[in-house]
Amino acid sequence: MLEAIELKKSYGSHEALKGLNLRVGAGDIYCLLGANGAGKTTTINLFLNFVTPTSGEARVNGIDANADPLQTKRYLAYIPEQVMLYGNLSGLENLEYFARLGGHDGYSADDYRGFLQRVGLQEDAAARRVKTYSKGMRQKVGVAIALAKQARALLLDEPTSGLDPKASNEFSELLLQLKGEGAAILMATHDLFRAKETGTRIGIMRSGRLVQELSTDEVSHADLERIYLEHMR
């Protein structure tokens, strides 16, 4: 579903990404680990065509994101570290707006409420303006937007950092549900524990390169931490 082929991105003389190859299939939760500046966010930006690659391709459902960005974005949902919404609109209104922009204008008011219910946003909160929301509530709306978009691939950029453990856990539950429905999920994260718990595969990045890939069922949490720290040395 998501596929990077010899993907490179340079900013001037700085090479942010040095020929990345990775695949995320349907039902995969692929966790990208690595220090800040390793190229995780650049990878996500390339799939979203927020930046253009220097060379190589970022393919979504087999289509080069740089060649037809409007088409590839139809399959994608993006949840950043901070889901940014319009403060003067309610959670419901934000959801409806983004759903329509994502090309889905057939939903009823009940459908929208259903999405917010599914991600665990209280009903009274849904009608409140978003500027009163906590971070966790915003992240839930972000997931609801992804649900409404019926995205086949999710790009998550440290979506749980700063969330309290309960909210973080709820978020992971939602990811597992989406995985069960066949979504391909690429998630950049610093949270080794969650990566091991929810991820199916893990890629460790360093200085723009993917230095190791592993399956989460092959390693224990302690092993994962050891491998990770070895690469960071």
Partner 1 sequence: MIITIARKEFSEIVRDGRFRWMAALMMLLLLTAMLSGWQRFSHYAAIQAAAQGSTNQQWLEQGDKNPHSAAHYGNYAFKPLRPLAFFDNGITSYAGTAVFMEAHKQNFAIARPASDSSAIARFGELNGAMILQLLLPLLIIFLGFTAFAGERESGTLRQLMSMGVSRGSLLWGKAAGIAAAVLVVVLPCLAVAAVALAATGLETAGGGIGTRIALVAAAYLAYAAAFLFLSLAVSAWAGSSRVALMVLVGFWAFTAFLMPKTAAEVSRLAVPSPAFGSFMADMKAHQQRGIDGVSPRVRLAEYRDELFRQYGVARIADLPVYWTAMSMQKLEELDHPVFEQHYNSVREQYAAQLRLQDRLGLLAPLLPLRSISMALSGTDLIEHNKFMADTEVFRRNMVVKMNSYLSKAAANLNAVNDATNYMIANEEVFAIVPPFRYEPPALGMVIASQAGNFARLAGWLVAAIVLALVAVRRMSLERN
Angstrom distance (rounded) from CA 16 to CA 9: 6
Query: Of residues 31, 33, 46, 76, which one binds partner 1 by CB under 8 A?
Result: 76
Interface region with partner 1, contact rule CB under 8 A, candidates 95-103, 119-127, 172-180, 199-207: 95-103
Residue 93 CB, nearest distance to partner 1 (Å)?
A: 8
Is 221 near partner 1 (CB under 8 A)? no
Per-residue b or e along 123-141, where b marks 16 or more CB atoms closer than 10 Å to that residue's CB? eebbeeebeebeebbbbbb
Angstrom distance (rounded) from CA 52 to CA 61: 18
Is 11 near partner 1 (CB under 8 A)? no
Angstrom distance (rounded) from CA 142 to CA 148: 10
Query: Of residues 30, 78, 112, 171, which one binds partner 1 by CB under 8 A?
Result: 78
Is 105 near partner 1 (CB under 8 A)? yes
| Sign of the dihedral defined by the CA atoms of residues 90, 96, 98, 101, in that order | negative
Using DSSP's 3-state secondary structure scheme, residue 14 falls into strand
User: Residue 108: how many CB atoms within 10 A of its CB?
Assistant: 8
Q: Please tell me the count of residues contacting partner 1 according to CB under 8 A.
A: 29
Query: Of residues 102, 136, 203, 208, which one binds partner 1 by CB under 8 A?
Result: 102
Is 63 near partner 1 (CB under 8 A)? no
Is 131 near partner 1 (CB under 8 A)? no
Tell me which residues touch partner 1 (CB under 8 A): 48, 50, 69-71, 73-74, 76-78, 80, 82-89, 93, 97-98, 100-103, 105, 149, 155
